[in-house]
Amino acid sequence: MNPDVYVLQPIIRKYWVESFKDNPLISGNTPVSSGDVVKDSFMYHLEVDHGIKICMDETGYLMSDFAVVDEKKFMWFMMRWQ
């Protein structure tokens, strides 16, 4: 497991609570990975709009790993939500 997951997880949780939970962005082209429409749309939204691809653990509630897909979008996300 990437040790930076413990740094990123509270930031993503804050983003979820303040910005996404009550107003999920569900689109028709969201790939299904967990079976939960809201979780899948959140992971897809993070990847496309903020440049972060996250992997969930077996429970589906905690991040197990992440990858930065777009460095510029990721930096803007971190500056805004950190």
* Domain ranges (residues) in the chain: 5-81
Long-range contacts of 63-71 (CB under 8 A, 24+ apart): 63/5, 63/8, 63/9, 63/12, 64/1, 64/5, 65/1, 65/2, 65/5, 66/2, 66/4, 66/5, 66/8
pTM above threshold 0.75 = yes
The answer on pLDDT for 70 being more than 90 is yes
pLDDT in tens, 21-48: 777 777 777 787 777 888 888 888 899 9
What is the reported pLDDT for 14?
92
Phi, psi of 48 (to 5 degrees): -80, -45
Mean pLDDT score across all residues of the chain: 87
Per-residue pLDDT band for 1 (boundaries 50, 70, 90) equals: low
